[in-house]
Amino acid sequence: MNFNLAEKIRKHDYERYFCSLFAPEKLRNALLALYAFNLEIAKTRESISEPMLGMIRLQWWREAIAEIYAGKPRRHEVVDELAPLVKEFGLSEDLFLRMIDAREKDLDEYPPARLEDLWDYAEKTSSALLLLAAEILGCRNSGTEDFLISLGRAWAACGLLRAAGYHLLPTQLFKDKGNEEKFAEGAKSLAAAINIETEKCRAILGAMDKDAKKALRPVSGLLAFLDVYMKRMKKRGYKILRHKIEEPRFPILVRVVISSF
């Protein structure tokens, strides 16, 4: 795995990076390559000065993915890492394209209206990424898909709350994102919806056999992060416009993640 790419993921997507450490080295490197792709398309909005440039960037990635599946990948540090994985792990092209298409929403100045719209976005980005990760881990099946979809929903929504005021928060819950009290009310409502998704995850995970749980560890570890972040938000009364929700310290994190297994 390209060291510079691994460092970017550690810096900008620490939670997934940390969870990938529970995978064997070969699978860990494959996961990091997948997360490097996700980072490339996720940073589109912050990397451009106008929406049209973002559309061009996303189209570049559509073409790059098509070329990978055609067996003629272009040269790019992320493509170089990703291209060999497509054939080796039988990764689904439609999931990559689903993620790229959904990132066009990041370029839209209008927030989603309803919670259902946020879930749709989360499923096409965060959940799709987890489904691809499960293909690498060899554990995408009918018994894990509902788990991965709910985990993707919860993870994406939690991330939006931590980036307090981000434009993709639904107006149904966040009518005035600049008002601390009203934002806290919306955050509390969204937190309740997140908790429903995490409870679904725990119920599904609890019914899995030991081998299935072990295979999922490099992604299911995100539940431990969710627990920490949601508890911290609640402790602050969801007044997170002024209180940034920081990543947990490493020793605490290790203990929480391991205990979740």
Residue 254, pLDDT score: 62
Residue 178, pLDDT score: 79
- Domain containing residue 152: CATH number: 1.10.600.10
Q: Which of 72, 87, 108 is the last residue of a domain?
A: 108
Q: How do the residues of the chain divide into helix, strand and coil, expressed in percent and rounded to 5?
A: 75, 0, 25
pLDDT band for position 258 (50/70/90)?
low
What span, in angstroms and rounded, lies between the C-alpha atoms of 107 and 160? 15
Q: Does residue 101 share a domain with residue 116?
A: no
75-89, 188-202, 240-254: lowest mean pLDDT where? 240-254
Q: Does residue 117 share a domain with residue 79?
A: no
Is the model more confident about 131 or about 245?
131
Non-local CB neighbours of 195 within 8 Å, separated by 6+ positions: 230
| Residue 165, Ramachandran bin (φ over 0: left; ψ between -120 and 50: alpha; else beta) | left
Q: Are 138 and 85 in contact (CB under 8 A)?
A: no
Number of domains, the chain? 2
Q: Which two tokens stand for residue 77?
A: 């540090």
Q: Does residue 230 share a domain with residue 202?
A: yes
Give 1-60 pLDDT, tens digit per residue.
787 889 999 999 999 999 999 999 999 999 999 999 999 999 998 888 788 999 999 999
Residue 245, pLDDT score: 79
Q: Does residue 102 share a domain with residue 117?
A: no
Q: Does residue 245 share a domain with residue 171?
A: yes
Q: Are 138 and 216 in contact (CB under 8 A)?
A: no
Q: Which of 87, 108, 129 is the last residue of a domain?
A: 108
Q: Does residue 212 share a domain with residue 161?
A: yes
Does the pLDDT value for residue 259 go beyond 60? no
Give 85-112 pLDDT, tens digit per residue.
999 999 999 999 999 999 999 998 888 8
Q: Which of 82, 108, 134 is the last residue of a domain?
A: 108
Q: Does residue 234 share a domain with residue 223?
A: yes
What is the domain extent for residue 216?
Answer: 110-261
Q: Does residue 79 share a domain with residue 48?
A: yes
